[in-house]
Amino acid sequence: MTRTYLDFNATSPLRAEARDAMVAAFDLVGNPSSVHSEGRAAKGLLESSRAAVAEAVGASNADVVFTSGSTEAAALALAGRALAAAPIEHDAVWSWAGEALPVDADGLVSVAEPDGATLQFANSETGVLQALPQGLAVSDITQGFGRVPFAFSWSGVGMVFLSAHKFGGPKGVGALVFPQGTDLAAQIRGGGQEMGRRSGTENLAGIAGMAAAATAAQRDLADGVWDRVAQLRNILENAIAAGSDETIFVGKAADRLPNTSCFVTPGWKGETQVMTMDLAGFAISAGSACSSGKVKESRVLRAMGYDADTAGSAIRVSLGPTTTEDEVLRFAEAWTAKLRRHRARAA
């Protein structure tokens, strides 16, 4: 059976550029903290990678601290601050939240006091994009980076964080970006690496892969790759709508990521759809993939006003630069056939 991967918001395939950079980094034996020639060579790669990530994020005059991913970066940015947040945030952010921010039916968040709040750039489940207010304390740009234009320099946000595997880098590496001179206490203490903000020997190969992927992701964005992906997303939704007039496309009235479609078919559980389509050869999701394999009711959709049964009937299809029109149409055809079978059994 031919497998079709349509779960790019969970993780993206490793880019060739990232793989090549990682293989080259594996040949460097030195520790970046060592002062001998081997150590200096490793340090040189670390700092050139840091500069590449800063440039890709539009943060040439900011500090970039490498972490194990967005979850750790979120903890570094948010611990002890009790910033206001909306229940549509990823668990890595929501778990640190203070006051809850209001969410409307389109998934858009109102922020009255930006300097005391954190707000995601794009939602992983619905793809809904937020207009980040000037002076916002922290933003999770994990899903949006490399897919829609963003630059730290003009965003007006105090701190942002991202994770390499969402844009074709390796899993297990991310970064927190913030202005130079920011007072930021380390959560992991030890040897004082990463400018004293995050101790522990750096994951040099992962960081090199992240830098290469970030550069390639920005090139794809500039080349219009994601405009083509948006067209495929629209083809998908039109095909799904043609086969099911009861299906609801979540957040469609708002600006969304070009690759993300979250849709609800009442009476057909999302987890059942995921398993059914997996057996048919398609990898999709019923929501965020960062809950240790658990399938649970979507807090995001509940915050948008959907009842429990409706929220439990949502699936997410997320496309990528390698997705083809044939794959999208084959998915829609297979999904529609499975829906008819489900209806027949339920009758």
**Which residue, 257, 53, 255, 39, is CA-closest to 151?**
53
Q: Which residues of 19-34 are buried (b: 16+ CB within 10 A; e: fewer)?
A: bebbeebeebebbbee
Q: What is the dihedral of CA 138, 142, 143, 147, to 10 degrees?
A: 100
Catalytic-role residue among 57, 290, 300, 311: 290
Active site residue 262: no
Q: Tell me phi and psi for residue 307, to 5 degrees.
A: -75, 170
Answer for the pair 324, 268: CB distance below 8 angstroms, yes or no. no
Q: What is the dihedral of CA 264, 266, 269, 271, to 10 degrees?
A: 0
Active site residues: 290
